[in-house]
Chain A
Amino acid sequence: MVPLSWYLMLAAFLFSCGLYGALARRNAIAMLMGIELMLNAANINLVAFWRHGVGPMEDLTGQVFAVLIIGLAAAEAAVGLALIIAVYRERRTIDVDELDLLAG
């Protein structure tokens, strides 16, 4: 049996990678990839806590939430990439440093 803390450590690493990617990359698609990594890490945590919780056969809440998050990630990726393509068509760049139209 794999201990719960191993799953948590893997998820923590993936989340930190995603956080770094979302904060430090200039390309908007790379930022989106970081966000996907963070969502995956959260999902690992949800399922790991479901498996190690009380009565995983009766209470499937952890898995239900993981499925909902997978659906949300699909919606987020579709809208995000459509936005990126629309911005690229307008501005010929998806460098988030140059997209400062709304900056004060």
Chain B
Amino acid sequence: MQLPLGIEVPIPTFEQFVFIQVALLTAVAGLAVVISRNLFHSALALTLTFFGVAGVYVFLEAEFLAVSQVLVYVGAIAMLIAFAIMLTRSMMYGRTSPLNNQWGKSSLFAFLFFVALLAFARATPWPAAGEEVVADEALIGALGREFVTNYVIAFEVLGLLLLVALVGAVLLARDR
């Protein structure tokens, strides 16, 4: 495809076209999370970002992760954040700027970091694609087997960590 200024743009395949839509949605929602002045709008944009990331996992043929993303992030973490916002309501609405006094330096640093990562991602010759992934239950079964064989210690430690974290959270948030 030839653009007016003589810029050559490769025509995306259908899959790439849909990916661009999902990625744009995710990126715009991610940006809205950090620039929105209303904290509750941030939380809603964050939920949208989580859905977008789940869509990206579907593109990467990691269906189990897509489902866990929706279950854990959208179902649990976004809900937790919404409740925390409602419980700490008083300071939310427009009294002062939502940004602290180092936002200028922070935005500059984040932008430079993004440019550096972008240059790195574009300049490195990445391998084209892995072998075909046969998308069926076999992959999820293999993932489950990994958790009880090679990564059993990490899995158990994570379970323990979650237990301790949740008990600690109840203890911290309890009204004394």
Q: How many chain A residues have a CB neighbour from B under 8 Å?
A: 76
Contact B98 A25 (CB under 8 A): yes
Main SS at interface, chain B: helix
Q: Hey, which chain A residues are within 8 Å of B117, CB to CB?
A: 8-9, 12, 15-16
User: Which of B130, B143, B154 touches A53 (beta carbons < 8 Å)?
Assistant: B130
- Chain B interface residues toward A at CB < 8 A: 13, 15-16, 19, 23, 26-27, 30-31, 33-34, 39, 42-43, 46, 49-50, 53, 56-57, 59-62, 64-65, 68-69, 72-73, 76-77, 80-81, 83-85, 87-88, 90-92, 96-103, 106-107, 109-111, 113-114, 117-118, 121-122, 124, 126-131, 133-134, 139, 142-143, 146-147, 150-151, 154-155, 158, 161-162, 165-166, 168-173, 175
- 12 A-B pairs within 8 Å (CB atoms) are namely A17-B33, A17-B34, A20-B106, A21-B34, A47-B57, A50-B62, A55-B131, A71-B162, A74-B72, A75-B165, A85-B173, A97-B101
